[in-house]
Structure 1
Amino acid sequence: MIQQELPTRQRLIRLIRESGGSTLADLRRRTGLSRSTLRQHLGRMARDGVVQSYLVRRPSGRPPLMYRLTPQAELASPETYLTFLRAVFDALRSQGQERVDALFREIAERVAAQHPEIRALPDMSARLDAVRRLFFSDAEATQVERTDGGYQFSLYTCPLAPVAMEFRDLCCVTREVIRGLVGEEVEQSEWIIRGDPRCTFEVRGGGNGNGGGNGKTRAAVATVERVVKSRLSPAVEIAAEPITFAFAGSRSDPVLAQMAQGLREVFGSHGHRFAQSEDDDLRLVFNFIDAARPRPFRRKGKGTFLVTVAVTDRRPDNILKEGYPLLIRSLGNLMIYLVRSGGHVETHFVTLEQGTYQSPDLTGDAYFAYLYERLLPLACSELVIDNEFHTDLPPELWEGDELTAQLAEAGRRLDALDLLPTPFPMHELLPARDMRHIQRLFGLGGLSYGNLSVRKDATRYWMSASGVDKGHMAEIGRDMLLVKGFDPQRKVMLLSVPPHVKPRRVSVDAIEHWMIYTEHPEVGAIVHVHAWMQGVPSTAINYPCGTIQLAQAVAEKVRETPDAVHAVVGLKNHGLTITGHTLADIFDRLEEGFIRQVPMS
């Protein structure tokens, strides 16, 4: 039962704790994992300070290597303690924001009073380093670094993350404690619970900190409220980090050759590296194909964004109908379809969401600058499509409940409204080898459109599965799944399933729904459809489905609406996300009027 219910690290910790120490052979026998897999996990756990190894001397034979837990691991909070913490913070929050703010100030002042020696250090770098060493090991935090405006350090682990996902105010505690210890205001630029790989804290300037002693005069309340209201939403920006990009396929056609030259120049001018051969760290590949005989590019990892580029001398009657099969056959994320006619070339984009739009009539540097600004944010986006299935769904939910019945009925209503396009038959276009390739990378067995979910309780929600006919959902674990959490460090959705079912993956938009539910406890249901309504606020960039950037952009728009419980947000070139108290509430508003054709731009 342990093997099925717990993630690998927790399972290993429990087995080692129960035995008082285990060899690799012991763990292999009890988990069924291979030696190489166990060595990888144990190596990471050793680097994180969770386990330590030692040789056991025996009268004869080679001494085995034994693994045991460190004191740090024994202090790690199991799920039972996290449940207790959730209850504590839920009770605290019910007393009002002023009480929460007062508690944070009191915590910061108490910790600062216990360590006056930190304020006495001569410069800010030394103070920050003392704070870092006080609370975190070298395996958990970076060294203090000098920046253009001050000093910063980052944390790679956050013990509060599982609770902070539900109680965002909790993120203010760490920052307030650091502020109290160093005597200067502290800013946070990265957040693990937002999906960033670390939490980064920065102190602007290198002052002596004399102005930071009094929490009241430093307006700590205003700082906390500002961050709480911002809800950790990042601005939509083009990534500053350089990426590696490459070309694949033939560029013998002069139009394709000109396109390749312009793309290489514009990306290179912004500091991005062009790879002459296939690179393990490719973030972006342009695959130039022959429209008559499209050849796929097989990525090494799902972190590579693939843009298919094709040219045709025949003006299609329907760009989407002709271009979409080429996009699928080439295994692309997005397609640039060049239509050459009468000495002029039109540029059309075709998306996996069955959208198409045309670029403005630009030439020269302005044209390639436009392509760069459209493509780079997509290439830098991060997928959150991995699922981890835990066979811990209570038996009374194996056949569903009242909420799954509502979800199935909502799917039928979407079908009746003709808002469920026929799933695209990828298996009819792709050979078996390519189907296996995309299943291995992305876990996709087909393309379907639209999804819906309903809240189960404070931390869980039922959601439609990926690639299923939403008009005929019935089986738990196959058509509908219970999402119970999100691991921000591994970027994995966590799901509860029955032990006797081979589960399907949850919809790729699960991360988007998770962000909305965790931020807005009053939201009880969410529906996403490929349709439109006039006058709705819309995201600025058409990020791919299943990316954390799309989820953040939608969550930001929901946050900006006057009533988050009754929000309607447009996803650029994609569709609508609609929130409500209940599914029935959403459909009452949806049926008042919608536009089937999503506007493209």
Structure 2
Amino acid sequence: MRHTYVVKNDGAPQTPGITVPAQLSTEGRTRHEVARLLLEDGPMTAVVVADRLGISPTAVRRHLDALVADGEAATRDAPRRGPRGRGRPAKLFLLTEAGRARFGHAYDDLASSAIRFLSEHAGEDAVRAFAERRVASLVEPHRAAVTARQEPSGRAEALAAALTREGYAASTRHVGSGEQLCQHHCPVAHVAAEFPQLCEAETEAFAELLGTHVQRLATIARGDAACTTHVPADDPRGRARTPKDGGTGE
């Protein structure tokens, strides 16, 4: 459902149905309006965009070229009408998935609603099973690389590298009693704020994979700057865990 209001943008063209973030510059607002028009009514030619926004085709093409260069828009030939004439067919501009991302998604709300439905109709055990399945799909592809390292500190480094490849921007740093595994980004933080089972299952999976007891010190879901997990140099219980890599414990 489209908006029917307009945000005043201090000189940038104003178009019914299009709103722009107030913090953008005039140039940025115009580009945002061009992208919004493609989102709502595209694909369309530069001439049509210029006519709809009330600015020159030259200015519109500059913004469209920038969107294409940034991977936020793409082009395709417009279908010809009537007999084939001379010259190139008109170019239609349309947003790519990256271009659509500038307007945000409702994935967090959808995921929360889905898990809430699961909880209400199948119970907390089902939510827990889902959380465990999710984290297993995250770490299992990297199990061999992590368990190839013998010490917990080495495994923590390998796990951080694996998590970074999965989009968690992870790193490790040495502290007196072991390593701290820090995840500077969490793609599911908003969902985990409502369903801490996601964090709990992740912590348990890390402990099993690293072969030692770990302690979650902070989480982005609780408002902390990063998800921080302490990995001790030695298992405080005085024995090694038995990870699923075929090793033996005592």
Query: What is the TM-score with the length of structure 1 in the denominator?
Result: 0.24
Match status 1:162 vs 2:163:
no
Query: What is the TM-score with the length of structure 2 in the denominator?
Result: 0.51
Could you say which residue in structure 2 is the equivalent of 1:99?
Answer: 126
Distance 2:211 2:147 in 1: 7
Change (3 A) 1:142 1:103: closer
Distance 2:159 2:220 in 1: 19
CA drift of 1:163 comes to 1.5
Distance 1:135 1:6 in 2: 37
Change (3 A) 1:7 1:106: farther
Match status 1:82 vs 2:112:
no
Could you say which residue in structure 1 is the equivalent of 2:86?
Answer: none
Could you say which residue in structure 1 is the equivalent of 2:30?
Answer: 29
Change (3 A) 1:6 1:131: farther
Is the Cα contact below 8 Å between 1:190 and 1:199 reproduced in 2?
Answer: yes
Change (3 A) 1:167 1:102: closer
Could you say which residue in structure 2 is the equivalent of 1:174?
Answer: 202
SS in 2 for 1:143: strand
Distance 1:138 1:108 in 2: 11
CA drift of 1:174 comes to 2.9
Could you say which residue in structure 1 is the equivalent of 2:153?
Answer: 125
Change (3 A) 1:3 1:210: farther
Could you say which residue in structure 2 is the equivalent of 1:67?
Answer: 70
SS in 2 for 1:184: coil
Matched residue type, 1:143: S
Is the Cα contact below 8 Å between 2:217 and 2:230 reproduced in 1?
Answer: yes
Matched residue type, 1:97: E
Unaligned runs of 5+ in 2: 8-17, 34-64, 73-95, 245-250
Could you say which residue in structure 1 is the equivalent of 2:181?
Answer: 153
CA drift of 1:200 comes to 0.9
Matched residue type, 1:188: R
Deviations 1:534-588 (A, max 9, x none): xxxxxxxxxxxxxxxxxxxxxxxxxxxxxxxxxxxxxxxxxxxxxxxxxxxxxxx
Query: Greater strand percent: which structure?
Result: 1
CA drift of 1:151 comes to 0.8
Answer with 84-93 or 176-185: which moved more: 176-185
CA drift of 1:109 comes to 4.8
Please report the RMSD computed on the Cα atoms of aligned residues, expressed in angstroms: 4.4
Matched residue type, 2:210: V
Is the Cα contact below 8 Å between 2:167 and 2:185 reproduced in 1?
Answer: no
Query: Greater helix percent: which structure?
Result: 2
SS in 1 for 2:154: helix
Is the Cα contact below 8 Å between 1:129 and 1:143 reproduced in 2?
Answer: yes
SS in 1 for 2:217: strand
CA drift of 1:149 comes to 1.8
Is the Cα contact below 8 Å between 1:111 and 1:177 reproduced in 2?
Answer: no
Match status 1:213 vs 2:243:
yes
Change (3 A) 1:108 1:138: closer
CA drift of 1:110 comes to 5.3
Matched residue type, 1:194: R
Is the Cα contact below 8 Å between 1:109 and 1:180 reproduced in 2?
Answer: no
Alignment of 1:171-320 (within 5 A): 171-206=199-234, 210-213=240-243
Unaligned runs of 5+ in 1: 13-23, 33-62, 215-601
Distance 1:112 1:146 in 2: 22
SS in 2 for 1:211: coil
Change (3 A) 1:6 1:97: farther
Deviations 1:31-70 (A, max 9, x none): 59xxxxxxxxxxxxxxxxxxxxxxxxxxxxxx9894346x
Which has the bigger relative contact order, CA under 8 A and spacing at least 6? Answer: 2
Could you say which residue in structure 1 is the equivalent of 2:162?
Answer: 134
Is the Cα contact below 8 Å between 1:141 and 1:153 reproduced in 2?
Answer: no
Is the Cα contact below 8 Å between 1:185 and 1:212 reproduced in 2?
Answer: no
Matched residue type, 2:179: Y
Distance 2:210 2:240 in 1: 10
